């Protein structure tokens, strides 16, 4: 129960943060990526604020033996840069630039402005399942 409540709390703060940050506006995201046009550097402040806060907090957190409600920290086990990482990230970037949504803002927007985000999230889930299906068959 603790794990569910703490995830819910983290989610609520994430939802408020992503909305306040402006990232839920796909125009703002596209303008951030449009460096030769009407460039809006705001998203650098979102990423900067998030990375500095998390970076400082992680130093303290990883000095602990384990998280409060679990036996271990669940960190990615893959360490090598491989072709899947590069190709997958490149594809993600293309999709991000095309529609102005990455997964967080798309999910967050469902509750207050569902038209576009709902289509995006359902399509995202389809893309995710498509990858799972194709990567298993190899």
Partner 1 sequence: MENFTPYTSLAGGILLGISASILMYLNGRVAGISGIVSGILNNPAASEKAWRAAFVVGIIGGASVYAYFFPVNIEPREHVTTALLIVGGITVGFGTAMGGGCTSGHGVCGISRLSLRSITATMTFLIAGLVTVYVVKQVVGA
Residues 14-53 that bind partner 1 (CB under 8 A): 14-28, 30-31, 33-43, 45-53
CB within 8 Å of 103: residues ≥ 6 apart: 121, 124
136 binds partner 1 (CB under 8 A): no
In angstroms, what is the minimal distance from the CB of 134 to partner 1?
9
Nearer to partner 1, 68 or 137 (CB): 68
DSSP label of 21 = H
Query: Which helix (H) or strand (E) element contains residue 105?
Result: helix 103-109
In angstroms, what is the minimal distance from the CB of 138 to partner 1?
12
- Per-residue x/- track, 63-102, partner 1 (CB under 8 A): -x-xxxxx-xxxxx-xxxx--xxxxxxxxxxxxxxxxxxx
- How many whole angstroms separate alpha carbon 103 and alpha carbon 66? 28
- How many whole angstroms separate alpha carbon 22 and alpha carbon 29? 8
In angstroms, what is the minimal distance from the CB of 137 to partner 1?
14
- Total binding residues for partner 1 by CB under 8 A? 114
- How many whole angstroms separate alpha carbon 22 and alpha carbon 26? 9
């Amino acid at each position: 129960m603790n794990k569910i409540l703490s995830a819910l709390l983290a989610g609520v703060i994430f939802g408020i943060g992503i909305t306040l940050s402006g990232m839920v506006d796909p125009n703002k995201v596209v303008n951030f990526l449009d460096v030769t046009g009407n460039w809006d550097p705001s998203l650098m402040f979102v990423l900067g604020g998030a990375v500095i806060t998390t970076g400082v907090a992680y130093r303290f957190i990883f000095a602990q033996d384990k998280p409060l409600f679990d036996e271990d920290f669940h960190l990615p086990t893959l360490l090598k840069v491989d072709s899947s990482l590069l190709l997958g990230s490149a594809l993600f970037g293309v999709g991000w630039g095309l529609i102005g949504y990455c997964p967080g803002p798309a999910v967050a927007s469902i509750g207050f402005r569902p038209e576009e985000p709902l289509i995006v999230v359902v399509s995202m889930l389809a893309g995710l399942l498509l990858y799972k299906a194709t990567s298993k068959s190899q």
